[in-house]
Chain A
């Protein structure tokens, strides 16, 4: 096994830059961001929503973060994160790292944070750390994490670990989150208004902040896209998250704003559960993949704001192979032939889709129905309320559904969850060969080797077709011309990547 070491661009490495920046004038400009996400409260571990998780990482600091330019996980609060043997990861904190109240950040804080995430009922993120068998502070600056099996996804999971203070928790309990939200991130917590907004303030002494990063940022909940775009137009907000395709031209036409797009790293797919007929028949699943004209749907309904998938990942994600083209291309005649070959022409299926959960989800499913019927399926479209559909999907009670899965920069957790034997009942797929390939990528710590193993698993997955991989939505962000902000392939807007012009 080769060692994996993350050590670039740590807070400590940036310390030299801070002295230079501190001498410059810092802007006092404020930036408001219209968001679609929930703002659940003060507890950084309560809500696993991506955008809010990134805000908490800006306040408390997380152990690692993903560097989209380098295409790898790098230390954030830590100085280094490395695998010292197959089952042990070592986190080293830099010396002299302090919180906004001057208190030092210690190894015991990381141990406490992981323990809270794993065991406290207030945590909604136990899944990130529950497979770790032991987390131990070796000294004030060193933590060892022991995993059950070799696990290359540890750096990914550590990107979701906000490091809160053990000392403050011992003193205040859960009230710490509200009364003393002192972190070691580049922004300080100012205000949380539950279900409404969060305000954070730049820490001028932090090495990751630049003079032209906003002095304050308000993340403001605006559920309606029309409202977000209008607020951007009249200057109430400077960034609007989630501009749908039909409103992008309106934003482009604004004199004071423009649109910036990025991949969502959320795979949209049609799941087919082999536990129910006809999805227990490989040819029926493959027929579905051949039946859907993804390019036509992307062009006509998504207005080209989508990246067609040849597997579960696209460029920028671990395991993407630029030379791989899916053999499951659009071919309605082949789809019909496949269905006829197993005597399933006319078989009745029900396609379930959420409504309003994903961009144009209902319209997309409606467009899929005639395509599937052309291939020989008899299709009923089912459009239940999201909570009902989601509960049934989680219990494995929905045989055929259109859905998305985000947080897939490293797709390993998602692929294991949906496609490995026993991963979850959502699809209930089982293929020993795929299981082996997925286990192999998970235990490979060398990035290049792991990518190759992931690609092999993806090829098997596409061939077995427990899901038809559709596209990733291009996420539109409205951005005021008063600032510079290039969104990343994840639903996050970090203060240090926003610059006031």
Chain B
């Protein structure tokens, strides 16, 4: 299994190089550069030329890319033009917030979508099925930013029971050990901080997970319905196995491979959705950072972040592959 993982991770290296090359080329094709976007609009052309030289933007693009690549292979993604700090430092500071949000959103999506999908499949054509379908289609079609603003107005504005944004209240005072606020609060034994962290996480996680919930509901329903039509289900029923056991033990377990596959694929969509959600909720993750990077043409930051996103997607799919072997013993890592 270890060899399999090493092979997969080694295979990811060319993918990361190609991705960074594509991003770099796209940045070159876009009008303007970091100097245009970040230096005051009062700066003279001489000032801009001096800064371009200092930032290495006066060199031929291919040389710039090779320099970047050479440094990146040693883990140095360069300095952010906007923040004047090493990209890796900025990304590592904000990555835990995005992972925390993405994991919470995935848990919500799986926790709601799977039972709802199974329920709809167990009672096809009933009111339950109609409710599940309506819920999932609404989730799939609702834009994140719209739902986000709606929930802010409702839960932060009207009911005033949840904060409107951010990750923690001013002066929470929990030491950032892992960077994951929930874990850090537990490690510090600060249950008040844990409560505050969960309150801040609730709305953005719900918004981010809504689309994925809809898709998982639909996918689970379809997979379980297919499984319920299989011969082994008929055999189980003829042997007098209870309907609940048929549904969960036989049909659902066989449907899980498809469901898990879609969770892995949707994780990528979820990460891209995080950019919007983080902006709407002022969530200090790498999604909102990427938006800032793009608007300021901060290419070391953009490439660094895209590589992190790509890496997260690769690791997630690797974990999904691992999960296959747990849910279906016929699947082997080789």
Contacts and interface: CB of A to CB of B under 8 A. Distances in A.
A218 B38 CA distance: 24
A438 to B, nearest CB: 15
B84 A130 contact: no
Contacts of B39: 48, 124
B280 A227 contact: yes
A223 B282 contact: yes
A222 B54 CA distance: 32
A36 to B, nearest CB: 11
A224 B284 contact: no
Given A236-B163, A387-B31, A231 B156 contact: yes
Interface in A191-210: 193-196, 199
B295 A386 contact: yes
Interface residues of B, number: 50
22 contacts: A38-B292, A40-B83, A47-B38, A48-B40, A124-B38, A124-B39, A126-B44, A174-B84, A195-B288, A196-B282, A199-B170, A223-B282, A224-B149, A227-B164, A234-B156, A234-B157, A386-B295, A387-B30, A387-B31, A388-B32, A394-B41, A405-B41
B47 A130 contact: yes
Given A121-B54, A126-B47, A387-B31, A226 B36 contact: no
B153 interface: yes
3 shortest interchain CB distances as A-B pairs: A391-B32, A121-B54, A48-B40
B157 A390 contact: no
Contacts of A195: 83, 94, 284, 288-289, 292
A230 B164 contact: yes
Question: Which residue among B43, B94, B292 has the maximum number of chain A CB atoms within 10 Å of its CB?
Answer: B43
B284 A193 contact: yes
B47 A391 contact: no
B90 to A, nearest CB: 7
A278 interface: no
Interface of A: 30, 32, 38, 40-41, 43, 46-48, 121-122, 124-128, 130, 174, 193-196, 199, 218, 220-224, 226-227, 230-231, 233-234, 236, 386-388, 390-392, 394, 405, 407, 413-414, 417
B297 A387 contact: yes
A150 to B, nearest CB: 19
A38 B41 CA distance: 16
Contact of A227 (B31, B47, B50, B165): B165
Nearest to A406: B41
A413 B42 contact: yes
Contacts of A128: 42
Given A124-B40, A126-B47, A220-B166, A41 B84 contact: yes
A49 to B, nearest CB: 9
Contacts of B43: 124, 126-127
Contact of B40 (A125, A226, A230, A234): A125
A434 to B, nearest CB: 19
B261 interface: no
Contacts of B30: 387-388
Contacts of A122: 84
B37 interface: yes
A236 B41 contact: no
Interface string B90-109: 10011000000000000000
B46 A130 contact: yes
Interface string B156-178: 11001001111000110000000
Nearest to B85: A41
Contact of B170 (A30, A40, A390): A30
Contacts of B289: 195
Question: Which residue among B30, B84, B149, B297 has the maximum number of chain A CB atoms within 10 Å of its CB?
Answer: B84
A401 to B, nearest CB: 13
Interface in B16-49: 30-33, 36-44, 46-47
B207 interface: no
A122 B166 CA distance: 29
A41 B83 contact: yes
Nearest to A194: B83
Question: Which residue among B33, B156, B171 has the maximum number of chain A CB atoms within 10 Å of its CB?
Answer: B156
Given A43-B84, A236-B164, A387-B297, 9 more contacts: A125-B40, A130-B46, A193-B284, A227-B280, A234-B157, A236-B156, A387-B295, A391-B31, A391-B37
Contacts of B41: 394, 405, 417
Given A121-B51, A195-B284, A221-B282, A230 B83 contact: no
Contacts of A174: 84
Contacts of B44: 126-127, 130
A231 B153 CA distance: 10
Given A46-B84, A194-B83, A391 B165 contact: no
Contacts of B282: 196, 220-224, 227
A349 B325 CA distance: 64
A392 B37 CA distance: 11
Given A121-B55, A195-B288, A387 B32 contact: yes
Interface string B238-273: 000000000000000000000000000000000000
